[in-house]
């Protein structure tokens, strides 16, 4: 009879140990699953997929400071594209200038007003001249704020009888502003000026 009690006692202690082991294992597995799920959520939220031309492209989120140079270069390129890519159509010129002037301060507006007073845009329309620009490079100085830049580009003037290529060099500074639909990079070009604008085909 005592042997039976001893067997029950042994069985009970075995069950107790097994239950304790099972609880610890469940807690460890639950903790590991929670940790893994948080890591996976962190990884997923760091990725964005963009659908372009029927293809899913992966984009990575990053701090702005990691991409300042890239964003400033693109901002400067877009400004020069809108300011210097013109067709012999007044509405196209106005639309492009409006987009360009959203990316820069009064220094660009002053250049636009000077060109307008000189009859430059009227000459483009009356002469059926198309103007294009290709930005070759943008040199940045990120050591001081506002950030200085120098833009090197090739300007092409297409007439019905000839094509003229010009070397264009401009410089200015870039400062931070709020992002908007009109200014997606959140930068503003200031103290912008043309350093060089000479014909290449001489």
The CATH number of the domain holding residue 140 is 3.10.450.230
Q: Which domain, by its residues, includes 27? A: 2-48+54-59
Domain end, chosen from 59, 80, 97, is at 59
88 in the same domain as 122: yes
pLDDT tens track for 133-186: 999 999 998 888 889 999 999 999 888 888 889 899 999 999 998 888 888 888
107 and 32 share a domain?
no
Same domain, 101 and 189: yes
Number of domains in the chain: 2
- Give the pLDDT confidence of 13-68 residue by residue, as tens digits: 878 888 888 899 999 999 999 988 888 877 766 666 666 666 666 665 555 566 78
Domain boundary among 26, 59, 92: 59
88 and 19 together in one domain: no
Q: Are residues 96 and 125 in the same domain?
A: yes
Q: Give me the long-range contacts of 167-172 (CB less than 8 A, separation at least 24).
A: 167/196, 167/197, 167/198, 167/200, 168/84, 168/133, 168/194, 168/196, 168/197, 169/194, 169/195, 169/196, 169/197, 170/80, 170/194, 170/195, 171/195, 172/104, 172/107, 172/148
Report pLDDT digits (tens) over 55-67.
Answer: 666 665 555 566 7
Q: Are residues 134 and 99 in the same domain?
A: yes
The answer to whether the predicted template modeling score (pTM) of the entire model surpasses 0.85 is no
Domain end point (choices 12, 36, 59): 59
């Amino acid at each position: 009879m005592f042997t039976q009690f001893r067997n029950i006692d042994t069985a009970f202690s075995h069950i107790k140990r097994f239950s304790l082991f099972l609880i610890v294992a469940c807690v460890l597995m639950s903790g590991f699953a929670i940790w893994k799920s948080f890591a996976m959520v962190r990884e997923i939220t760091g990725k964005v997929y963009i659908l372009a031309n029927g293809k899913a492209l992966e984009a990575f989120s990053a701090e702005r400071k990691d991409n300042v140079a890239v964003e400033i270069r693109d901002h400067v390129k877009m400004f020069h594209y809108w300011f210097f890519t013109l067709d012999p159509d007044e509405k196209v010129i106005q639309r492009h200038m409006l987009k360009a002037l959203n990316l820069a301060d009064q220094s660009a507006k002053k250049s636009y007003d000077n060109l307008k007073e000189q009859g430059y845009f009227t000459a483009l329309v009356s002469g059926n001249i198309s103007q294009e620009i290709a930005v070759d490079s943008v040199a940045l100085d990120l050591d001081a704020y506002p950030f200085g830049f120098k833009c090197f580009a090739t300007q092409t003037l297409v007439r019905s009888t000839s094509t003229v290529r010009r070397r264009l060099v401009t410089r200015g500074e870039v400062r931070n502003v709020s992002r908007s639909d009109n200014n997606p990079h959140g930068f503003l070009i200031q103290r912008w000026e043309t350093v060089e604008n000479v014909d290449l085909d001489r």
